[in-house]
Amino acid sequence: MGTITLSFEEIKDCLKEILTLYGCPDDKADKVAVEMTRNSLEGVYTHGINRFARLIRNIGEGIVNPDADPVIIGRTGAVANVDGGLGLGITNAWFSMELAIQLAGEYGIGLVALRGTNHWLRAATYGYQACDAGMAAICFTNTIPNMPTWGAADSRIGNNPLVFAFPRKGGHLITDMAMSQFSYGALELARLEGRRMPIDAGFDSDGNLTKDPEAVIRSQRILPTGYWKGAALSFMLDIFAGTLSAGNTVSAVGALPGDEHGVSQVFVAIDYKKLVSEEQAEMIIEGAVSDLLGSKPAGENSRIIYTGQMTEEYRRQNLAAGIPVEEGVWKEILSLRRIRH
């Protein structure tokens, strides 16, 4: 099957209609549809439309409660705890970052720990949320156990995506990195296309580092980003998320039956304007960005970018040409609409 292109509105309206059919209140359906469509618009297809059918399946399984509202269970000074009630991951996370932003507006920094929530889809979403509110942000989530720690054969740590974000007029600076070097999605795609990965992707069943996606999928031993370093950082992010939220760590998430649910997340917003004037901040940031972009390319095909730069490029391209959607993915989504009519 091929790829079709659709407009933002067309996709968003369809997703929203289906979410509503599956019990999402109007405001939540709208938010989830907008953000998932935006993820595809901005080139993060794996966490956009491609994952929509799975979200609907999770609602059907009772893992995601579409009408649960997040509840603030504790708040003191600049820190707060939220229980997500196993509601929609996107709206729970958005609510929590919104609260962190509010706390940062008051105290200069705010931290919100969220427990009992679900997959937030694209981690960068909440970095952009903070940036659009004029705040810097750090946020991270834990996941099911999906990666072995360093020296291990079985998966007991998560790929726990981590975001650092800083607002910038000419395009926000943002990094959104999972703690695995490659996702299973990327490995699957390479396998289908008969490609090897450009760098080590994990271990084969004999314990040797390999670039062969097939061997890694078979062994289930994907590589932490930075080898032992990403394994350590992944574990720390889990300790922070599970403990600060009084929620599940990776191992507790893994003990729950069914698809991943009940994860823990941390949202930190920083009102940098309480520490430095906007003019000075802009000068410092633009100096760093232009110095970076002035790097000498390593080869003819090397391109130097700042982290976050591709978002704007994908957005422009997909707004002009339409958002590419795999025909099979779209067909499955349309079938979700038909089933309930």
Active site residue 119: no
Question: Which residue pairs, CB below 8 angstroms and at least 24 apart, start in 278-282?
Answer: 282/168, 282/169
Least distance CB 133 / its own copies (angstroms): 16
> Which one of the listed residues 47, 119, 172, 261 is annotated catalytic?
47
Instruction: Please give the Cα distance from 114 to 267 (Å, whole number).
Output: 8
Cα separations in angstroms, 180 against 74, 152, 299: 33, 14, 27
Which one, 11 or 250, has the nearer CB to its own copies?
250
Return the residue of 298, 320, 321, 338 that touches its own copies, per CB under 8 A.
298
Gyration radius of the chain over CA positions = 20
Segment interacting with its own copies (CB under 8 A) among 8-16, 173-181, 188-196, 312-320: 173-181
- Other C-beta atoms lying within 10 Å of the C-beta of residue 130: 29
Least distance CB 179 / its own copies (angstroms): 9
Of 209-248, which residues contact its own copies (CB under 8 A)?
209, 221, 225-227, 229-233, 235-240, 242-246
Backbone φ, ψ for residue 99 (5° rounding):
-65, -40
Instruction: Please give the Cα distance from 148 to 224 (Å, whole number).
Output: 8
> Is 151 among the residues that bind its own copies (CB under 8 A)?
yes
- Structure tokens that stand for 110 in this block: 């705010």
> Is 43 among the residues that bind its own copies (CB under 8 A)?
no
Which one, 93 or 197, has the nearer CB to its own copies?
197
Query: Do 145 and 114 contact (CB within 8 A), yes or no?
Result: no
Query: Do 156 and 148 contact (CB within 8 A), yes or no?
Result: yes
> Is 131 among the residues that bind its own copies (CB under 8 A)?
no
Return the residue of 72, 292, 319, 339 that touches its own copies, per CB under 8 A.
292
Least distance CB 231 / its own copies (angstroms): 8
Q: What residues contact residue 175 under an 8 Å CB cut-off, 6+ apart?
A: 162, 163, 164, 165, 307, 308
- Structure tokens that stand for 128 in this block: 């952009």
Strand residues in 91-135 grouped as ranges (E): 109-117
Which one, 292 or 339, has the nearer CB to its own copies?
292
Of 242-281, which residues contact its own copies (CB under 8 A)?
242-246, 249-252, 268, 270-272, 274-276, 280-281
Which one, 288 or 334, has the nearer CB to its own copies?
288
Which one, 198 or 258, has the nearer CB to its own copies?
198
Of 192-211, which residues contact its own copies (CB under 8 A)?
199-200, 203, 207, 209
Of 50-89, which residues contact its own copies (CB under 8 A)?
74, 76-81
Residue 300, burial from CB neighbour count under 10 angstroms (0-12, 13-18, 19+): exposed
Number of residues that make up the chain: 341
Of 8-37, which residues contact its own copies (CB under 8 A)?
none
Return the residue of 2, 257, 258, 297 that touches its own copies, per CB under 8 A.
297
- Other C-beta atoms lying within 10 Å of the C-beta of residue 247: 24
Least distance CB 163 / its own copies (angstroms): 9
> Is 143 among the residues that bind its own copies (CB under 8 A)?
no
- Structure tokens that stand for 89 in this block: 């991951």
Least distance CB 210 / its own copies (angstroms): 12
Least distance CB 199 / its own copies (angstroms): 6
The catalytic residue positions are 47
